[in-house]
Amino acid sequence: MFEELVKALVFVLEAYAVAGFVFAAIFVSVGVQRLDSEARGSGVTFRLLISPGAAAFWPMLLVRWIRGMTEPPVERNPHRVQR
């Protein structure tokens, strides 16, 4: 029973990683320019640098890409409260 559970968990993690790397390959070539205006015209080195992060955080980036968000959300915490 425990072995089957571990195999299922490993399969889910592998599927997440594969989906992340496929998304990252597409995102760094096309999507990053649409989400971040500062990334327009960036070089290959920058794109290679952000690839692991794009692969890890692909669900969040995919949602932002689909929604067409062009700037990061405004952070709301006690340190940013205007007094």
Q: For residue 13, is it within any domain?
A: yes
Alpha helices in the chain (DSSP H): 2-26, 32-35, 44-56, 58-67
Look at the chain and report how many structural domains it folds into.
1
Question: pTM above the 0.95 mark?
Answer: no
Of 33, 25, 44, 16, give the one whose Cα is nearest residue 68.
33
In angstroms and rounded to an integer, the radius of gyration of the C-alpha atoms of the chain is 17
Q: For residue 80, is it within any domain?
A: no
Tell me, what's the pLDDT at 83? 62
Mean pLDDT, rounded, for 45-53: 92
Q: For residue 33, is it within any domain?
A: yes
Q: For residue 77, is it within any domain?
A: no
Please state, in angstroms and rounded to a whole number, the distance separating the CA atoms of residues 63 and 31. 12
Q: For residue 9, is it within any domain?
A: yes
Q: For residue 62, is it within any domain?
A: yes
pLDDT tens per residue, range 23-42: 999 999 888 888 877 788 88
Find the domain containing 64 and state its range. Answer: 2-69
Q: For residue 76, is it within any domain?
A: no
Q: For residue 75, is it within any domain?
A: no
Of 25, 81, 14, give the one whose Cα is nearest residue 58.
25
71 DSSP 8-state letter = S
